Amino acid sequence: MVYQNIVAGRFVDRPNRFIAHVEINGVVETVHVKNTGRCRELLLPGVRVILEVAANPDRKTKYDLIAVYKQGFGLINMDSQAPNKVVAEWLAGQGYDVIKPEYKYGSSRIDFYMEKFRLDDGGQEVSERYLMEVKGCTLEIDGIGYFPDAPTERGIKHLKELAGAAGQGYHCIMAYVIQMEGINEVRPNITTHPAYGKAVEEAIAAGVKVLFLCTAVKENELRIVTGRYLGE
């Protein structure tokens, strides 16, 4: 995915999880933060941030904060809407015959439902069904990605839905889009949310596969370049 109109600025502060103050060309602007996570290790006073100019000129906030240069590391895309968009682009080239976003399953909406058609031993066409939940990873510690950066009961719920679906014959995938370069693994952040780590273990035991999606990150672009399953 490509951002159409970007500018650079310097982060000042974040009054709440939805907005931040950023200095752009010498003027402090109130901007929308496209990530409601904590991002405390990223949004530090004075760091360089990247913003996209809002398409609607009448919107209350003129800019969306989409990326940040982490001190001692490099550029991290922190747009929480980006993972699903880049996964949709990536899935289009993965040989699926059906791809449906926002698929209702159980009491949840799973990010993607996919199908692949094949012929069985009798020459009859059968469908392999897939469910994929997508999470974006922006937390890096000592060269390893971690998720989540804040407790997520919703994330646990999705893992349980996938585990149940795996028992019903679906191929279930928990996909982590790593929104930074140089990281190829995501671990459960049990320090922040121990229950999430337990839910991941239970999902894997039930047959859910964990997929790490590595990206190329530019100020105006995020793109998946490789995918690797846990254990490969």
pLDDT at position 180: 98
The residue among 111, 226, 87, 215 whose CA lies nearest residue 159 is: 111
Task: Please state whether the predicted TM-score (pTM) of the whole model is above 0.75.
Answer: yes
189 and 143 fall within a common domain: yes
Domain range for 48 is: 6-77
Coil/strand/helix, residue 19: strand
* Residue 107 to residue 112: CA distance in whole angstroms: 15
The verdict on 158 and 62 lying in the same domain is no
The enclosing domain of 132 has a CATH number of 3.40.1350.60
Looking at the fold, whether 49 and 35 belong to one and the same domain comes out as: yes
Residues 6+ apart with CB under 8 A from 180: 70, 73, 74, 75, 76, 77, 137, 138, 140, 145, 215, 217
* Co-location of 36 and 133 in the same domain: no
Any domain includes 1: no
The whole-number pLDDT of residue 183 equals 96
In a domain, 190, yes or no: yes
pLDDT score of 125 = 82
Domain end position, chosen among 77, 95, 120 = 77
Check residue 219 and give its pLDDT: 98
Question: Tens of pLDDT along the chain (232 residues)?
Answer: 999 999 999 999 999 999 999 999 999 999 999 998 889 899 999 999 999 999 888 899 999 999 999 989 999 999 999 999 999 999 999 999 999 999 999 888 999 999 999 878 777 888 899 999 999 999 999 999 999 998 999 999 999 999 999 999 999 999 999 999 999 999 999 999 999 999 999 999 999 999 999 999 999 999 999 999 998 8
Q: What b/e readout covers 171-182, taking b as 16+ CB neighbours within 10 angstroms?
A: bbbbbbbbbbbe
Answer yes or no: do 136 and 150 share one domain. yes
Instruction: Look at residue 36 in the predicted model and tell me its pLDDT.
Output: 85
Residue written as token pair 């014959």: 169
